[in-house]
Amino acid sequence: MTMKKTDLEKNKALKLNNALKLAAADRFGKASAQPKLDRREQRKLDQAQGLVPFACKLEADLVAQLKTRAADHPGGLNGLLDELLKRGLAADAS
């Protein structure tokens, strides 16, 4: 079955549009970034490092202070909390 000229042009446009969308997904180094791990893989890596999830409730002001300090910390929020807790426990023990 032959197609009309307009239908052929529409199909070409759709192919071009899809190709552009796929190419745009690779822009700005997104493809070269580390792949995001799913929860199971991340949990296995954490367990291998000896990390255990620990949830607690804190005041909103304290959380805001922690987040601002964690922005400059190389280990992020987890590293900052680890450091602060170790320091606090060491000072409490002495």
DSSP 42-56: HHHHHHHTT------
pLDDT at 20: 83
pLDDT at 22: 77
How many degrees, rounded to 5, is the angle at CA 44 between CA 33 and CA 30? Answer: 10
pLDDT at 21: 82
Mean pLDDT by 10 residues, the chain (94 residues): 86 89 67 72 90 91 94 91 93 84
pLDDT at 71: 92
The residue ranges of every structural domain in the chain are: 54-94
